[in-house]
Amino acid sequence: MTMPDDEKMLKREYVYNELAGRIRSGEWPPGHKIPAEPVLCRKLGVARVTLRAALEKLTCEGLVTRSRPGGTVVAAPEAEKLKLLVVSAMHGDEDLSAPALYIMPGIERRCLELNLSVEYLTSAFLPEHLPEDGSCLGVINLMANFNGDEPLLRKLRNLTLPVVCAHGFPRDPAVTGLPTIRTDFHAAFEAGLAHLVRMGHRKICFLFREWDMVERRMCITERSFPGLLKESGLDPARQELIQLDSNDEDFSARLKTLLDAPEPPTAVYAYSDYFALRCCELLKAWRLRIPEQIAVMGFSGYIAAALQSPPLSTVDFGYARTGAMAVDMLRRSSEWRNLKKPPVILAPFDVIPRRSTDFCRMDFSGKQRNGQK
């Protein structure tokens, strides 16, 4: 028999009042994890749809927080929530390639699971001193590539609250003296290159930034690059390199010259997914088939890379995962605050093969066929 609508409403209100009463009475204090839905349904004798309606009302009123990995947790009153501060250079018009944009969601999700609040500050407005009233867990810094003279770095060092750098370059820990999470960009680059070599590529066009930035980020110098190629099984003399400065968006003429050569490269390996996606646009405009005629490999794991046509292969740094790691590192600050050497955690990365490199080149003649019969 179908329950009348008013009876459904009564049951939902009964469940809501039962749960809200336990929260408001202190029986379930802030941070308490509420039993799983099947358990509550059995205890209260209601259907899951009725329980979820009550939980939705509790969520809207700020009495509980809900997340897929964390379950349903009793929320602290907003004024009592432990918070953390996130410092970045964001001004609302930031370049979409900025890692901070992709680290922030990971920070926010982890804070939701832990019932923490998050406040954002631009680096220019970080105060010299923060109140030590027990309300702030600490600070997560999203800036990277320090030289040691930055005003922000001076402020971070002088804070009495714990600070974690969530996105560091290789030299940053030694320069900043702060706990750091960073990606081993050198190993990540080699892993992406190994994927292209396994797919049969022996002549690759590399889209790089200027050597100073490549060295700072990836620990690869102009002098060491040929040796890295040789160790990967490539002939350094056959490879091509297009270098881009930070404002260089139009590399089409240089790329077209290489592709029109008698022996064009069979793959492009870009310094970032953004240059890789720009490559794909140009190649499609020139009516070149990806990956049959030329493969494209990215580097960073931009979320939209999988949505392209064809989907872009990339080395994914897992920035959202890094954000969660930074929150957990900050929560464990008592373990490392008194150490002489700041801890450094290497964030995992993943090579994600997709359609843009899904074509294996078989070379029986010693010459690349470039996907042609």
Pairing of strands 163-168, 180-183: parallel
Distance, in Å, from the CA atom of 108 to the CA atom of 323, rounded to the nearest integer, reads 8
Question: Per-residue confidence at 53, pLDDT binned at 50, 70, 90?
Answer: confident
Q: Which residue has the higher pLDDT, 56 or 352?
A: 352
pLDDT (average), residues 131-156: 90
CB neighbours of residue 193 within 10 Å = 25
Residue 247 in this model has a pLDDT that exceeds 50: yes
In sequence order, the 6+-apart residues with CB closer than 8 A to the CB of 187 are 349
- Residue 345 pLDDT grade (very low, low, confident, very high; cuts 50, 70, 90): very high
Q: pLDDT per residue over 61-107, tens digit each? A: 878 887 766 678 887 666 567 889 999 876 544 566 788 889 999 99
Confidence at residue 8, expressed as pLDDT on a 0 to 100 scale: 52
**pLDDT value at residue 123:** 82
Q: Are 267 and 234 in contact (CB under 8 A)?
A: no
Cα separation of 187 and 349, whole Å? 9
The alpha carbon torsion through 56, 60, 63, 69 (nearest 10 deg) reads 60
* Predicted pLDDT of residue 366: 46
Q: How would residue 6 be classed by pLDDT, with cut points 50, 70 and 90? A: low
Q: How many of the other CB atoms lie within 10 Å of CB of 27?
A: 10
Among candidates 78, 80, 9, which has minimal Cα distance to 46?
9
Across the beta sheet with 204-209, the strand order is 240-244, 204-209, 267-270, 295-297
Say which range, 14-23, 120-129, 267-276, has the weakest mean pLDDT.
Answer: 120-129
Q: Please write the tens of the pLDDT for every residue from 171-200.
A: 999 999 999 999 999 999 999 999 999 999
| DSSP structural state of residue 171 | T
Average pLDDT over residues 334-359: 93
Q: Evaluate whether 315 touches 300 at the Cβ level (below 8 Å).
A: yes
Q: Please give the pLDDT value at position 373.
A: 39
Tokens representing 163 are: 């600070």
Say yes or no to pLDDT of 165 above 60.
yes
Residue with the two structure tokens 């396994």: 198
- Are 108 and 161 within 8 A, CB to CB? no
Task: Say what percent of the chain tops pLDDT 90.
Answer: 58
Which pLDDT value is given to residue 29? 84
Domains of the chain in start order, with CATH, are 5-78 (1.10.10.10), 80-183+320-349 (3.40.50.2300), 185-316+352-357 (3.40.50.2300)
The b-or-e profile of 54-75 (16+ CB within 10 A means b, else e) is bbebbeeeebbbbeeeeebbbb
Confidence of residue 321 (pLDDT cuts 50, 70, 90): very high
